[in-house]
Structure 1
Amino acid sequence: MEETTIVMYPAPSIGHIISMVELAKLLIHHHQHFSITILLTTGFMDHPSIDSYINRVSSSHPSITFHRLPTVAVNHTTTQSIAATAFQFIKSNAVNIETKLRQIIQTSVIKAFIIDLFCTSAMETASAMQIPVYYFFTSGAAVLSLYSYFPKIHSLTKSSFKDMVGVEISAPGNMALNAALMPEPVLDRDDPAYWEMLYFCEHLSKAKGIVVNTFRELEVVAVKVVEDGACFPDVEGSSPPVYCIGPLIADAQQPDEARGIKDCLSWLDKQPSKSVVYLCFGSRGSFSMTQLKEIAEGLERSGHRFLWVVKRPVQEHLGTKKVYDTTGEFDLSSILPSGFIERTKERGLVVRSWAPQVEVLSRESIGGFVSHCGWNSVLEGVVAGVPMIAWPLYAEQHVNRNVMVEDMKVAVAVEQRAGDMFVSGEEVEKRVRELMDSEKGREIRERSLKFKDMARDALGEFGSSTKALANLVQTWNVISH
Structure 2
Amino acid sequence: MATDVAELQSKKPHIVVLSSPGMGHVIPLFEFAKRLVLLHGCHVTFLNITTEASVAQIQLLHSPNLPLGLSVVDFPPVDLSGMVTDHTLALTRLSVNVQQSLLSLKSMLLQLHRPQAVVIDLFCTQAFEICKELSIPTFMFFTASTHLLAFSLLLPQLDRDVTGEFVDLAAPIQVPGCSPVRTQDLLDQVRDRKSDDYKWYLYHLSRVPMADGVFLNTWEDLEQLPVRAIREHSFYKKMLTAPVCSIGPVIKETEPVTGRGTECLAWLEEQPANSVVFVALGSGGTLSAEQLTELAWGLELSRQRFIWVVRTPNDANACAAFFDVGGEMNDPKSYLPERFIERTGGRGLVVPSWAPQVAVLQHRSTAAFLSHCGWNSVLESLAHGVPIIAWPLYSEQRMNATTLAEEVGVAVKVAGEKAERRVVGREEIERAVRLMVEGREGMEMRQRAMKLQESAMKALGYSGSSHESLARVAEQWKATLKN
TM over 0.5: yes
SS at 1:477 equivalent: helix
Query: Which residue in the other structure is 2:464 paired with?
Result: 463
Among 9, 12, 16, the residue aligned to 2:21: 12
Per-residue deviation, 1:355: 0.9
| Aligned match of 2:43 | 35
**Match of 1:243?**
245
Q: Residue in 1 aligned with 2:30? A: 21
Q: Which digits, 9 at most, give the CA deviation of each residue in 1:194-226, with x for residues without a partner? A: 222112111212211111111112111111111
Q: Secondary structure at the match of 2:346?
A: coil
Q: How does 1:54-453 map to 2 (within 5 A)?
A: 54-56=61-63, 59-75=65-81, 76-78=84-86, 80-105=88-113, 110-161=115-166, 164=168, 168-230=172-234, 232=236, 235=239, 239-251=241-253, 259-314=259-314, 316=315, 318-324=316-322, 325=324, 327-416=327-416, 418=418, 419-453=420-454
**How far apart are the structure 1 equivalents of 2:153 and 2:233?**
9
CA distance in 1, matches of 2:298, 2:54: 35
The alpha-carbon distance between structure 1 residues 99 and 382, as it changes in their structure 2 partners (threshold 3 A), is: same
Structure 1: segments with no counterpart, 5+ residues? none
| SS of equivalent residue, structure 2 residue 68 | coil
In 2, Cα distance between equivalents of 1:152 and 1:67: 38
Tell me the CA shift for residue 94 of structure 1. 3.6
Q: Distance in 1 between matches of 2:387 and 2:244?
A: 28
Alpha-carbon distance change, 78 to 310 in structure 1, aligned in 2, over 3 angstroms: closer
Q: Counterpart of 1:261 in structure 2: which amino acid? A: G
Tell me if the contact between 1:370 and 1:388 (Cα under 8 Å) persists in the aligned partners.
Answer: yes
Matched AA of 1:265: L
Q: In structure 2, what residue type is equivalent to 1:239?
A: T
1:49-100 alpha-carbon deviations (Å, 9 max, x no partner): 434433326x532311222222221131245323212212212234311222
Assess, with a 3 A threshold, how the Cα gap between structure 1 residues 406 and 231 changes in structure 2: closer, same or farther: farther
SS of 2:463's partner is coil
Task: Mark the CA change 1:422 to 1:479 in structure 2 (over 3 Å): closer, same or farther.
Answer: farther
For the residues of structure 1 that align with 2:116 and 2:336, how far apart are their CA atoms? 53
Q: Cα offset for 1:253? A: 5.1
Q: How much does 1:145 deviate?
A: 1.3
State the superposition RMSD in angstroms: 2.4
Shift of 1:329: 3.1
SS of the equivalent of 2:112 reads: helix
CA distance in 2, matches of 1:210, 1:417: 32
Provide the TM-score with structure 1 as the length reference.
0.90
Aligned mates of 2:106, 2:44 — CA distance in 1 = 17
Question: Aligned partners of 2:222 and 2:384: how far apart in 1?
Answer: 14
3-state SS in 2 of match to 1:370: strand
Letter in 1 for 2:109: L
Partner of 2:54: 47
1:233-290 alpha-carbon deviations (Å, 9 max, x no partner): 763xx632211111122255569xx633222211111111111111111111111121
Deviations 1:272-312 (A, max 9, x none): 11111111111111111211111122112222111111111
CA-CA distance at 1:180 after TM superposition: 4.8
Q: 1:52 to 1:95 in 2, by over 3 A?
A: same
Letter in 2 for 1:147: S
Indicate conservation of the 8 Å contact 1:146/1:231, yes or no: no
Secondary structure (helix, strand or coil) at the match of 1:368 reads: strand
Q: Kindly, what percent of the aligned residue pairs are identical? A: 34
Query: Which of 1 and 2 has higher RCO (CA within 8 Å, sep 6+)?
Result: 2
Q: Deviations over 1:384-422 (max 9, x none)?
A: 111111111111111211221122211111142633232
Q: How many Å separate the matches in 1 of 2:170 and 2:288?
A: 26
The question of whether the paired residues in 2 share the 8 Å contact of 1:113 and 1:133 is answered with yes
AA of the residue aligned to 1:42: T
Residues in 2 aligned to 1:71 and 1:319: alpha-carbon distance in whole angstroms? 26
Contact persistence 2:50–2:76 (CA under 8 A): yes
Question: Does the 8 Å CA contact 2:23/2:283 hold for their aligned counterparts?
Answer: no
1:77 to 1:319, Cα distance in 2 relative to 1, 3 A: closer
SS in 2 for 1:294: helix
Work out the number of aligned pairs and report it.
468
- Given that residues 99 and 126 in structure 2 are in contact (C-alpha distance below 8 angstroms), is that contact kept between their aligned partners in structure 1? yes
Q: Secondary structure at the match of 1:92?
A: helix
Amino acid aligned to 1:282: G
Q: Describe the shift of the 1:328–1:478 C-alpha distance in structure 2 as closer, same or farther (beyond 3 A).
A: closer
Distance 1:91 1:467 in 2: 34
Change in CA separation of 1:323 and 1:195 when aligned onto 2, cut-off 3 Å: same
Asked whether the 8 Å contact 1:152–1:233 carries over to 2, the reply is no
